Amino acid sequence: ELFEKKNYELRIAGGAVRDLLSGVTPQDIDFATTATPTEMKEMFTGAGVRLINNKGEKHGTITARLHEQNFEITTLRIDVVTDGRHAEVEFTTDWHKDAERRDLTVNSMFLGLDGTLYDFFNGYEDLKNKKIRFVGKAADRIQEDYLRILRYFRFYGRIAEKPGDHEPNTLQAIKENAKGLAGISGERIWVELKKILLGNHVNHLVQLMYELDIAQYIGLPLDGNLEEFAKVAKNIQNLSPKPMTVLTSLFKGKDDVTNLDLRLKISKEEKNLGLFLVKHRQELTKAPGPEPLRPYQDFLMDSREANTNSKIFELLKYQGEEQLLKEMQEWTVPSFPVSGHDLRKMGVSSGKEIGTALQQLRDEWKKSGYHMDKEELLSCLKKL
């Protein structure tokens, strides 16, 4: 109503339109308008609408807070100068020109609040046909921001029906511009890469990253283990792994984790998970016989580190052990029934002896599959 009263046009833009047309509830709704940031500020302040101070203003974005919700509204704009990372913009009232500088056709549509779809580049057609294409010439779009190479992969994994359905000239443009990713910050790359790792067609897309020479510029090992990756990509289907669990299958050793961290500045938790998987994926496996979970349970009981159980869950996903994962998630860590106090009551007095005795009993308890209770263990002590 505010925009209408002042005769400014206001439409929903980009990703939210794509989601609505796909029958998905959008996470955030971004708006585009013909009003400039200054005009919006005057209008909102005049109407007593709270503005959230954010740094988007020079790019034309104002954030208004209404009914406990933030709304981002951006003035239509044209990119004047781009350096492959940032753009200098100038404002416009031409919707076509604004759509032209967006990355992919499926992200370049606008939706009027009356339900009219404004679609200058056949985005709706592409969405229905599950095609991912750049707006205009792929090379031009990529050179405006090299991160768009990874965005192409991410949306391919989200929307495309089957692997391998790319336009040859798009792949060519990606290959010719892959080097540009070297200048993009690790943090921005990691955000996109994590989404690719959790999307569809992940095996196809990562193989493609190697074929198109992208891998080396985004922190992946030059000689990534693509066979292992293909195997793990199959294992983790429907198990909701963490991105790092999927990615670690490319790595041959801990140096690969360190190099990834240097390039992408991953979190400490992600780094530790990668190192854990590289170290234990070979030897920490299910036991033959009636107690397949025992090795994982023993490992957990012996571990002195925090959140070992969540790392073990990720290892089971990596190994594709769906049933064992369920059982392990339901297993509660038993607590050791004997304390130093119990031993003192039995006449063991020196601290050193108590320590030794407790350790021996712990070993017996472990051998019993953690089933022995206090009585059994203490009678065991008499024998020992």
Give the span between the Cα atoms of 321 and 103, in whole angstroms: 39
Q: Which of 77-91, 219-233, 285-299 ranks highest by mean pLDDT? A: 219-233
**113, 129, 145: which is the final residue of a domain?**
129
**82, 110, 129: which is the final residue of a domain?**
129
Residue 82 and residue 10 in one domain: yes
In the chain, at which residue ranges do the beta strands (DSSP E only) sit?
A: 10-13, 30-33, 50-52, 61-66, 69-75, 77-82, 87-91, 110-112, 117-118
Cβ-contact 207, 108 below 8 angstroms: no
Give the span between the Cα atoms of 300 and 309, in whole angstroms: 6
Give the span between the Cα atoms of 137 and 379, in whole angstroms: 80
Minimum mean pLDDT range among 41-45, 135-139, 360-364: 360-364
**73, 104, 129: which is the final residue of a domain?**
129
Its pTM stands at 0.87
CA 119 and chain centroid, separation:
30
What are the Cα distances from residue 298, in Å, to 204, 361, 367, 374?
Answer: 37, 15, 10, 19
Give the span between the Cα atoms of 207 and 229, in whole angstroms: 9
**DSSP string for residues in 261-281:** HHHH---HHHHHHHHHHHHHT
Mean pLDDT, the chain, rounded, equals 92
Domain tally, the chain? 4
Minimum mean pLDDT range among 34-38, 81-85, 216-220: 81-85
Residue 122 and residue 45 in one domain: yes
The CATH number of residue 184's host domain is 1.10.3090.10
- By DSSP bridging, strand 87-91 and strand 61-66 are unpaired
Residue 188 and residue 253 in one domain: no
132, pLDDT greater than 90: yes
pLDDT tens digits for range 308-358: 999 999 999 999 999 999 999 999 888 888 888 888 888 777 788 888 888
pLDDT tens digits for range 177-232: 999 999 999 999 999 999 999 999 999 999 999 999 999 999 999 999 999 999 99
- Provide, rounded to the nearest whole percent, the portion of the chain with pLDDT above 70: 99
pLDDT (0 to 100) of residue 349: 76
CA 141 and chain centroid, separation:
24
Full domain range(s) for residue 119:
1-129
